[in-house]
Amino acid sequence: MIRPEDKGLKGKEQMSRPKGSVLVVGGGIAGVQAALDLADSGFYVHLVERSSAIGGSMSQLDKTFPTNDCSACILSPKLVEAGRHLNINLMTLSQVLGVEGEPGNFRVRVRKNPRYVDPEKCIACGTCAQKCPKKVPSEFDLGLGTRKAIYLRYPQAVPLKYAIDADACIYIKKPGRCGFCQKVCPTGAINFEDRPEEITLEVGSVILALGFRPFDPSGLDFTGYGTLKNVVTSMEFERLLSPSGPCMGHMERPSDKKEPEKIAWLQCVGSRDVNRACHGYCSSVCCMYAIKQAVIAREHSESGRLSSSIFFMDMRTHGKGFEAYYERAKREGIDFHRARVHTILPAPNENLRLRYSGEDGEIKEEEFDLVVLSVGLETDPEVMKLCHSLDVELDHDNFVSTSPFTPVATSRPGIFVCGTLAEPKDIPQSVMEASAAACGAGSILHESRWTETRKKEFPPEKNVYAEPPRIGVFVCSCGINIASVVDVEEVTQYARTLPGVVFAQNNLFTCSQDTINQMVETIKKEGLNRVVVASCTPRTHEALFQETLREAGINKFLFEMANIRDQDSWVHQKWPDAATRKAKDLVRMAVAKVRGDEPLPYNHVSVTKRALVIGGGVAGMVSALSLADQGFPVCLVERKDSLGGHARKFYRTWQGRPMQDYLEELVRRVETHPEIDVQLGATIEHVEGSVGQFRTRLSNGFEVEHGVAIVAVGAESFKPRSGPWNYLYGKNPNVHTLLELDQRFIRDDEALKGLSQAVFIHCVGSRVPERPYCSRVCCTHAIDQALKLKELNPEMDIFMLYRDIRTYGKREYIYQEAREKGIVFIRYDLDNLPRVNEQDGNIVVDVIDPIIDREVRLHPDLLVLASAVRPRDDVGELSKLFKCTMTEEGFLLEAHMKLRPVDFATDGVYLAGLCHYPKPVEETISQAQAAASRASLVLSRDAVPAESVTAVVNVMKCTGCAVCTQVCAYHAVTIDKNSGKAVVDTGLCKGCGACVAGCRSDAITIKNLGNEQIMAAVEAAMEE
């Protein structure tokens, strides 16, 4: 530890070399992602979490929108990874007390609270909790269930170590009174003498990822929360749905444990409420989670009779895939009522009665047996205190203040923020920001990369060539995800009868840390040399289990998965017997296949330390700078003759920051950066190679070798030149798109001041059949423009014709400001579109005001169309070059909607900006920084792992006919000049198997995926 007085002359020297470690505060998904990004790109990370386990709010969720992924299932692997990461020092039950120093050189005081359980000794057997006589409400289950005084935060907790709640523990309060846990603990892990400890960490930068807490509606008496038993919050409802929750996923209502048949969701509880909740912001996620809960609740409904109603103000499904999710929910019969309810009324049998007014004013009443309050997100007062003590500025809603151009930087240099601590947001956005914060935190420390990290060593691998197969089968219940449909016990017993299987067992959660650890032991103890896990999909969990094999000293390729959840229990819920039979078949197939598996080498590809960034807009430039600032050379390719992209046309951000000033500075920095080579007027012609070693040819003939690529090619503004969304666009000179009006703002068009009436039409070409997504930015943009017009001429009458106002997050304040300034909002529907006509060259707009149900006629001298953001047509070509996929709408599709928002499924290729989905500039910037962070994971290394599952030639059978060379898209197979036989370059081979299917002679095969193995699986499928 360096004391301040020691600094002197030496201090300066030390300042020049920053610390190589980072503090991440908060172990939710954002904190975990930031920690993983940093730890994987050369920094040592201290991850401090207040509770006894990481996972945060996401671990409490049942499912996540819009993919309905099981939250725990997708989160677990990340938590386990963070928990096991060699370069992450996980400090649970710990609090940051203070941070001193400056960027590159912070000293952090951390208080480690006692766990009273020695984590080295605890095997999480649970005997202690069984014996513990003290029951207290479980905070993880929000008090709906109980836990003991010695407890695990949740079943898949990381670290999977029990902890004693000192406030509840009988012994700690009165030593000598209880102490059962100590008596029964088989490993002697209980340590009542554990004391708080204060330690000092030296880090170079800090990331705050402290998350949110759900709004507590107890203060809103009209909700009846706390009095009417069957009124619950959305977070409580997540626990009611969750298989690990208080009713094991059976969805029981609190009053009588009966399954509800009619549930209502009330939106905006604690959000968009300046009166009672004092939260004027929109919590951004509630609309989607309510729809998700409504959809999922139906699946949970055993009676199958569940009806779900959602009462809302504006439906805010503004994210990628959200609108489609909403539409599907509507199709599937979820009732959506555009109405808010004043008071939840009691009805007989503890039911609840909702009285609401239709948009037309008609009063209706409906009875429900459960009401869920869609509560908003707010900052925990404890967190506010910490931020104050860290000198990190909060806004008036107590979120951390950020600026649109530095979206993850706090007011204190060297301290970064991500996730919901800065503004309510969904998981992908939080994950994106986490990577962006990691980029920021790592950026200032890049000189010290790899100076404080350690390297993972696996035990030597056992040679299994000569051994007969000894297969272990692990059958997962996945809570009840599998076990509620498939008879997992029967499957486990059946597995034991299969040839080569010497061990089989059933686990509640095979991916939980304890099962993983136990699996390592089992492999060793039973001398297993092949493993089959029957659980979920290998697409998410294969890597985790493969690493487990390595830890047990087994080559990771001696592994197969049987997908008995996603492709069995979840899709055959009504046929449990058949699903069980199918599960057996799947296990038998996996066992048949694993028998033929052979150990494979772990291949590597050396990394060309250069990034190719495609697109010279804000996203591209920010990614380029973020990488270049870390010392990585970048080739930035822009198809136009100048940098700037879409942002050239923007007047200002919704926070009022002028865009062109920012852009000018950004362009200057890019153009003068020594590490950035800008290629203007060029497009991508040809790409070959793969992660670590790409070679790309540009249209100008320039060739670039690079290790990674970031695609940031932007999008276009939809111009409704004809068709139903035309609204006189291109026909009357006073009809503009948003960007066209921005142009007028940019050039200070005086004529705007003279206007007397302006009308904005929202959703022009968005949320319509041909473009069924929400363009996310237009509501905010249009409202900001309306405000700008009001600035120019306060007397101007302005009307906004909208379908739902989607000013999510803090943007809600400009919506409020707009109303305050007298801007009138009139809602319209697709079946009641505004009609725009011309009378003597003047624009006339007719629209029906649904509240008074009367036709309103407007006479604007400016009509602004908030038109859609549409994907560029040439994105398809580019995506093919990089082997990336696209959504149905034509945006680029990330590897995983929730947890890999800037990665492509193709390794080493990342995306940022509008080509991913419409988004405002602050999100574009954070995504660009996130992409840079992800890219630095590759660039910071000398070599990255390459495909092991590659093609291999049997020269005895090869005729040299060269079909394989012709069908290989990677030029990985060639005919050897000497032998005349095919040879495979394993560095290039991706293991697709096109060559195998093309070969008539069975002379080429894929390792561990040969014809014989596939035949074995197929034949196994047919045995009964």
Site for other proteins in 495-554 (CB under 8 A): 537-539
Nearer to other proteins, 86 or 578 (CB): 578
Concatenate the DSSP letters of all residues of 673-728 into one string. -TTEEEEET--EEEEEEETTEEEEEETTS-EEEESEEEE---EEE----SSTT-TT
Asked if the bond preceding 159 is cis, omega within 30° of 0, the reply is yes
SS (H, E, C) 624-639: HHHHHCCCCCEEEEEC
Could you say which of 14, 51, 67, 732 contacts other proteins (CB under 8 A)?
67
Q: CB of residue 603 vs other proteins: minimum separation in angstroms? A: 16
Closest by alpha carbon to 793, among 742, 754, 758? 754
Taking CB under 8 A as the rule, does residue 816 contact other proteins?
yes
**C-beta of 38 vs 836, nearer to other proteins:** 836
Contacts of other proteins in 313-352 (CB under 8 A): 313, 331-332, 338-343, 345-346
Residues 6+ apart with CB under 8 A from 5: none
Segment near other proteins (CB under 8 A), from 139-147, 413-421, 735-743, 986-994? 986-994
Torsion-angle region of residue 748: left (phi > 0), alpha (psi -120 to 50) or beta? left
Binding other proteins by CB under 8 A: which of 72, 586, 678, 932? 586
Site for other proteins in 739-758 (CB under 8 A): 756-757
Q: C-beta of 806: minimal distance to other proteins in Å? A: 13
Nearer to other proteins, 141 or 259 (CB): 259
Is 991 among the residues that bind other proteins (CB under 8 A)?
Answer: yes
Nearer CB in complex with other proteins: 5/1024: 1024
Q: How many residues in the shown chain lie near other proteins by CB under 8 A?
A: 136
The owner of tokens 């709906």 is: 144
Distance CA 189, CA 929 (A): 44
Cα-based distances in Å from 174 to 169, 171, 578, 710: 9, 5, 56, 60
The rounded distance, in Å, linking the Cα atoms of 77 and 80 is 5
Using the rule CB under 8 A, is 893 a contact of other proteins? Answer: yes
By C-alpha distance, which of 251, 283, 264, 252 is closest to 224? 264
**Is residue 403 involved in binding other proteins (CB under 8 A)?**
no
**Which residue among 299, 380, 685, 716 contacts other proteins (CB under 8 A)?**
299
Work out whether 1022 is an interface residue with other proteins (CB under 8 A).
Answer: yes
The residues in 69-98 that bind other proteins, with binding defined as CB under 8 A, are 69-70
CB atoms within 10 A of CB 393: 13
> By CB under 8 A, what part of segment 259-298 binds other proteins?
268, 272-277
With binding defined as CB under 8 A, does residue 571 bind other proteins?
Answer: yes
811 near other proteins, rule: CB under 8 A? no
Residue whose CB is less far from other proteins, 112 or 355:
355
**Hey, which residues between 178 and 237 contact other proteins (CB under 8 A)?**
220-222, 224
| Segment lying near other proteins (by CB under 8 A), choices 19-27, 175-183, 281-289, 973-981 | 973-981
β-strands 703-706, 693-698 pairing:
antiparallel
Q: Does 963 bind other proteins (CB under 8 A)?
A: yes
The amino acid present at 837, given as its one-letter code, is N
Give whichever of 387 and 587 is closer to other proteins, judged by the CB atom.
587
If we measure between CA atoms, which residue out of 248, 240, 325 comes closest to residue 287?
325
Coil, strand or helix at 525? helix
Minimum CB distance to other proteins smaller for 740 or for 849: 849
User: Which position among 145, 887, 974, 985 is part of the footprint of other proteins (CB under 8 A)?
Assistant: 887
Count each helix (H run) and each strand (E run) in the chain, helices first. 25, 54
Interface region with other proteins, contact rule CB under 8 A, candidates 122-130, 440-448, 523-531, 1005-1013: 1005-1013
Give yes or no for residue 880 binding other proteins (CB under 8 A): yes
- Min separation Cβ 515 and other proteins, Å: 22
Nearest residue to 635 via CA among 621, 646, 645: 621
Amino acid identity for residue 830 in this structure: L
Total Cβ atoms within 10 A of residue 303: 8
Return the number of the residue (83 or 321) whose C-beta is nearest other proteins: 321
CB 980 to other proteins: min, Å: 7
Site for other proteins in 626-665 (CB under 8 A): none
Instruction: Pick out residues in 669-698 that bind other proteins (CB under 8 A).
Output: none
Separation of alpha carbons 167 and 149, rounded Å? 8
**Which residue from 462, 454, 392, 458 is spatially nearest to 421, judged by alpha carbons?**
392
CB of 92 to other proteins, least distance (A): 30
> Does 598 help bind other proteins (rule: CB under 8 A)?
no
Sign of the alpha-carbon torsion through 253, 256, 261, 262:
negative
Q: Residue 650: name the closest of 666, 629, 668, 638 by CA.
A: 666
With CB under 8 A as the contact rule, the residue among 49, 568, 629, 784 that binds other proteins is 568
E-assigned strand segments in 555-653: 559-563, 603-606, 611-614, 634-638
Rounded to the nearest 5°, which phi and psi values hold at 183?
-70, -40
Give the DSSP H or E segment for 560. strand 559-563
In sequence order, what are the residues at sequence separation of 6 or more whose Cβ sits closer than 8 angstroms to the Cβ of residue 672?
Answer: none
Residue from the set 184, 680, 824, 952 that interacts with other proteins by CB under 8 A:
824
Query: Shortest Cβ distance from residue 443 to other proteins (Å)?
Result: 32
Binding mask 838-877 for other proteins (x = CB under 8 A): --------x--x-xxxxxxxxx----------------x-
Q: Please report, as residue ranges, which positions from 459 to 488 form the binding site for other proteins (by CB under 8 A).
A: none
Other beta carbons within 10 angstroms of residue 9's beta carbon come to 6
Does the footprint of other proteins cover residue 967 (CB under 8 A)? Answer: yes
According to the binding rule CB under 8 A, does residue 979 interact with other proteins?
A: yes
Taking the complex as a whole, the smallest distance from the CB of residue 783 to other proteins amounts, in Å, to 13
C-alpha 957/C-alpha 182 separation (Å) is: 67
Nearer residue to other proteins within complex by CB, 157 or 845: 845
- Least distance between other proteins and beta carbon 737 (Å): 24
DSSP secondary structure letter of residue 768: B
Task: Please classify residue 170 by burial: count the beta carbons closer than 10 Å to its beta carbon, then call 0-12 exposed, 13-18 middle and 19+ buried.
Answer: middle
Residue 428 beta carbon to other proteins: minimum distance, rounded to whole angstroms: 15
Which residue, chain included where needed, has tokens 């869609």?
374
Strand-strand pairing, 982-984 and 973-975? antiparallel
Candidates 822, 832, 835, 874: give the one binding other proteins (CB under 8 A): 822
* 3-state SS assignment for residue 141: coil
Among 363, 701, 840, 841, binds other proteins (CB under 8 A): 363
- Interface residue with other proteins among 819, 890, 952, 974 (CB under 8 A) is 819
Among 585, 629, 638, 923, binds other proteins (CB under 8 A): 585
Please give the distance of CA 158 from its chain centroid, rounded to a whole number: 19
The interface mask with other proteins, positions 762-801, x = CB under 8 A, is: -----------------------------------x-x--
Binding part of the chain for other proteins, among 117-125, 507-515, 648-656, 1011-1019 by CB under 8 A, reads 1011-1019
* Residue 998 is a binding residue for other proteins (CB under 8 A): yes
What's the longest Cα–Cα distance across the chain? 94
Q: Is 8 helix (H, G, I), strand (E, B) or coil?
A: helix
Q: In the complex, what is the shortest distance from the CB of residue 746 to other proteins, in angstroms, rounded to a whole number?
A: 28
Checking phi first, is residue 952 left (phi over 0); if not, alpha (psi -120 to 50) or beta?
beta
Say whether residue 9 binds other proteins (CB under 8 A). no
Contact status, residue 642 vs residue 740, Cβ threshold 8 Å: no
Pick between residue 579 and residue 710 the one whose CB is nearest to other proteins: 579
Contact flag: residue 906 with other proteins (CB under 8 A) = yes
The whole-angstrom separation of Cα 779 and Cα 761 is 10
In the bound state with other proteins, the residue whose beta carbon lies nearer, of 136 and 961, is 961
